[in-house]
Structure 1
């Protein structure tokens, strides 16, 4: 066999390894050439970095009209050109220069103003200046509050930084942890959510952030609030203190407590729209309508039917509402693509819904607040907030999904009558221009009958409606601003009917809260009443003293003047109290002004004192609480003893037949007679007697169990017998048919001897029957022995 000398075949279609190319004199020349090329590249890179750094001091935001005016690397400028980013926005013009100089930046700007690019460019330039490579590990960390926002940032980074040699990774929940673990240590730029990053810090071997150069918090106010506080505190503890930090949001935090957690070094606050007339984009048209809760579904359906050629984003309070309304609209087929996006979906479905809504020109997306921050959906015409937002900041982020990058858009908010006054005032305080509009009732289509029929026909849809009903009420109940959100003012019955439910589900947490409010009101009322009684008694005692000692009343002029001053002070104090207290004060004044006659009978005096000396409890709130705590607690043993003395049997269920007679259940009802000793011990129950009774009950239970097993085996044997008999009959019929066929083929001539022999043969059924009966008896004996 001839030997193959083709080196490309030997090395899998490639040339020989490089080490063979550096042998001999020619190899040494190649080495020198490559080293010289590498040295020239390093020298040119160092010169470029030095030139860029020297231009940082000359940055003037007012003179920057394009990205080429910034001192950026050639690779970054090439990436911006390919991604078609030509001129910077206001927040980019003001913040990029400060970030390039190494300052910690707190950037705030309106929604859709280009904050993502404002921190991605400094991240790329920071690692470029440090000549970062995959061997250096983690260099930049970008934390986003939601998976969708992290995914969007990662996509922008791929477009802008495609000319750089850095490795970037998306670390979010819903993906395989092992795949991320294998690549994380070699990743230079990590874009992540707080929960997944903390999981890697706790579980991934050799993952450290000791070499971190720059930290970015996108939507910083959301990441630093109470929802992510615990995770962020743990993450910050694992980060080095010497780093650059960038914070960006449309509603930036200025809390000293939050900023102190990040260990910022002389941060610079950049807010390009702080002095603007409005905190929302000027091209955004904003309005709100006031409607009842049970009319929202009809209004939403009518709006969608009238805007089939628009791209609409609809926000709701809970995932369960989004699921139910999406399912209803999907079944009713309004004539436009319907999508949903909420936290209950898996990651693949969430990304698919996000991409499809970005791609579609006309679509309706039902979403929770996971889509409220940072997501850049192109060409959104309408943003509908079906439920009132938590606060004004949430409204700004929701409405900011439209009217982005100086494009137009409209936002509409649906408010209940109980929410209108307080919420509109909050929006005005945040400099949000919004006006009230009215709905044309002629263009509203009712879908309540459709919902009722579908819920009645489909139990799964009915369950979804019940969950949506409870989810909305729970979200309103948990809101902190009780001036806006009052769950007790909602018409629950009408709202349940509007969702297609014939009967409103039970809302137990509302009943508990109502009971708590009633108890609180009763305590306050009692406290006010006790205070009034105290004042009434003090006034009556002073009046009785003046009657018994008239010489005190007729004192010197100085004393009368001082009394007048005291009376005037009392009058002023009483005027500041409630109306009920004023009425009591008027009663005492009228009594004091009347002329007193001291020549009265003893009965009158007694009557006087019995009326005035009413004994009432004068306990403070603390004493009331102590008295409630001191109430005697009844132990379980004492309660059991009390029930046995009253001959009350607990946990019993009595059933009656059609004639009204009691049906006894031998399996549940105890047969052994209860014997309790009427001892007056503190224990309440005689344990020995109870143990003896339980042993007797145990014997009876075992007997019942044996009988039940016997009955079960007997039924199985009967079924087995019937099956065997059927098989025998079937077999016998088949044999008879075969015999008939044989008789037809060869006629059988019977004789008297053969007939007599056949008659003398025993009956097989009798024989087999006896054997089976013996087997049954033996099985019964075995089961008895086992029992």
Structure 2
């Protein structure tokens, strides 16, 4: 299958989007979908599943409309529904469809019903009967029940993207109700990164004699290099400071944490050292979240600190009912005392679906709460035939709770979840390599880290959280109104501005030369060997510059800021760039 076989308008749009050759999932799925087959497809994150179902949907709509006379009322009707688990993914798919329809936008209309607009206000959009509707299951059901969306006689195809995630978000009942409003015969496409028992049940409910595609692209199997570091909670802050301040990772990085307070604690901590970052969590408005992802993809921000609350909630559902009951009264009392912030978005998700582009590394600052969550987090990097790496901090059980101010509530499960992750990764011939830092060389930075953490108090975190949410609400309104008509003005809107209500010590922004570690390879390893092999640790090279204070702006071969590296992944990329 080639893109040139599609409608010329689609081929032209794909060429403009730099889609020249179909990926494996696209080459297999598109011909089957055009032939009218139901499809259940499993493919890794970043393999091109979105285009694999969007292209045949649009192609079939264009063909069907051309067969009808201009005056026919059947030309204006809703023919396809795409259901997704999160609003971010709905925005992303709508954007892709809009780019795809650039040369035939008058013939095919797309509507996104998953935004913040109330259901009542969206009814006017549905009166125009858009050809394709993108929505979350809850929003689609609301319109079907109110009869503002009627597809009983017109629906041709139903797509459920990230099917396993939709079910894990609790949309199973909504899906069953949605099916009662649909015609008896229509084409169904299920897309997922994993095939679970729930997906199998959904397959029995929706699909008729489906084509099952389980695809793994061999070229991408070895593109992801995975590392894990066993350390204390305090050392996590020390290591993240060293990694980011010394620029050990070149390129964009996503740092995952397990709750919103941790998100702001880490941001405030990094601000102490003048390290800019932006946060991404369910409290922020949808418009702001989408704009943050866009700017990150453009390279405006290097570091995003993202929460993974959806997976955290799912993991908590496995806790014994007795434990939940005993803690219920305590949690209720605490919730009353908590700061009243904007209501969290139940349809938020960042570890799945959202298309982050050219991510060099994923850092699991807080280890995920399930093996499934780990897979989806690290799937944000090493996409589209590009190399990437993941680095996960694992807190040993005996080190949990040593410092209450920096301890994460999920840390006590780290070792248990890590063993599950290792087993799951071994099934796909993937290995998580242990990575050891030369901690003695980093001791000089410890007092700075401890001093910075003392400034990041609970009150400072709460104030920062409130300040950021208020700021983003204002930004969201601007995005919604003014910036819609003035897209160039978006450049002035930044999401990585400082929010520190805590004291900031100016001397912490710079690293004095006496703190720089001594440069020496591990014993028994020559400098030549060091350049060409993965040593399993982070060494400095020999012969450091005698004085770093002079000519800092000049690049030097022996500059530790350039040679202190975190994995062979980036040294390989560096050699490629030199060529």
Pairwise same-fold verdict (TM > 0.5): yes
Question: Are the counterparts in 1 of residues 167 and 198 from structure 2 also a CA contact under 8 Å?
Answer: no
Q: How much does 1:297 deviate? A: 2.3
Q: How much does 1:196 deviate? A: 2.0
For residue 262 of structure 1, give the secondary structure of its aligned residue in structure 2: helix
Q: How much does 1:333 deviate? A: 4.7
Structure 2 residues without counterparts, runs of 5 or longer: 309-348, 398-414, 467-501, 503-579
- Structure 2 partner of 1:374: 353
Q: Distance in 2 between matches of 1:259 and 1:112?
A: 23
Greater C-alpha Rg: 1
- Structure 2 partner of 1:174: 116
Question: Are the counterparts in 1 of residues 265 and 461 from structure 2 also a CA contact under 8 Å?
Answer: no
Question: Are the counterparts in 2 of residues 175 and 347 from structure 1 also a CA contact under 8 Å?
Answer: no
Question: Are the counterparts in 2 of residues 217 and 248 from structure 1 also a CA contact under 8 Å?
Answer: yes
Q: Distance in 2 between matches of 1:462 and 1:350?
A: 17
Q: Distance in 1 between matches of 2:461 and 2:15?
A: 56
Q: Map residues 49-448 of structure 1 onto 2, 5 A cutoff.
A: 64=1, 66-68=2-4, 70=5, 72-131=6-65, 136-164=76-104, 165-185=107-127, 186-203=129-146, 205=148, 207-225=150-168, 227-253=170-196, 255=198, 258-260=201-203, 262-273=205-216, 281-307=221-247, 309-329=250-270, 331-335=271-275, 337-360=276-299, 363-369=302-308, 370-418=349-397, 419=415, 420-441=418-439, 442-443=441-442, 445-446=445-446, 447-448=449-450
Q: How much does 1:299 deviate? A: 2.2
Aligned residue pairs: how many?
Answer: 394
Distance 1:461 1:92, change over 3 A: same
Distance 1:456 1:436, change over 3 A: closer
1:675-726 Cα deviation digits (max 9, x unpaired): xxxxxxxxxxxxxxxxxxxxxxxxxxxxxxxxxxxxxxxxxxxxxxxxxxxx
For residue 359 of structure 2, give the secondary structure of its aligned residue in structure 1: coil
Q: Distance in 2 between matches of 1:348 and 1:362?
A: 17
1:452 to 443, 449, 454: 454
Structure 1 residues without counterparts, runs of 5 or longer: 1-63, 465-499, 501-787
Q: How much does 1:98 deviate? A: 0.9
Q: Map residues 14-29 of structure 1 onto 2, 5 A cutoff.
A: none
Larger relative helix fraction:
1
For residue 130 of structure 1, give the secondary structure of its aligned residue in structure 2: helix
| CA RMSD, Structure 1 to Structure 2 (Å) | 2.8
Distance 1:218 1:183, change over 3 A: same
Distance 1:137 1:366, change over 3 A: same
For residue 108 of structure 2, give the secondary structure of its aligned residue in structure 1: coil
TM superposition score normalised by structure 1 = 0.47
Q: Distance in 2 between matches of 1:194 and 1:333?
A: 43
Q: How much does 1:260 deviate? A: 4.7
Greater relative contact order: 1 or 2 (C-alpha under 8 angstroms, separation 6 or more)? 2
For residue 457 of structure 2, give the secondary structure of its aligned residue in structure 1: helix
For residue 221 of structure 1, give the secondary structure of its aligned residue in structure 2: helix
Q: How much does 1:443 deviate? A: 3.2
Q: Map residues 497-646 of structure 1 onto 2, 5 A cutoff.
A: none
Q: How much does 1:249 deviate? A: 1.9
Question: Are the counterparts in 2 of residues 173 and 196 from structure 1 also a CA contact under 8 Å?
Answer: no
Distance 1:375 1:269, change over 3 A: same
Distance 1:261 1:270, change over 3 A: closer
Q: How much does 1:83 deviate? A: 2.2
TM superposition score normalised by structure 2 = 0.63
Distance 1:318 1:239, change over 3 A: farther
1:1-28 Cα deviation digits (max 9, x unpaired): xxxxxxxxxxxxxxxxxxxxxxxxxxxx
For residue 224 of structure 1, give the secondary structure of its aligned residue in structure 2: helix
Distance 1:463 1:252, change over 3 A: closer
Q: Distance in 2 between matches of 1:166 and 1:105?
A: 23
Q: Distance in 1 between matches of 2:10 and 2:350?
A: 29
89-98 or 316-325, which deviates more: 316-325
Q: How much does 1:192 deviate? A: 1.4
Q: How much does 1:255 deviate? A: 5.0
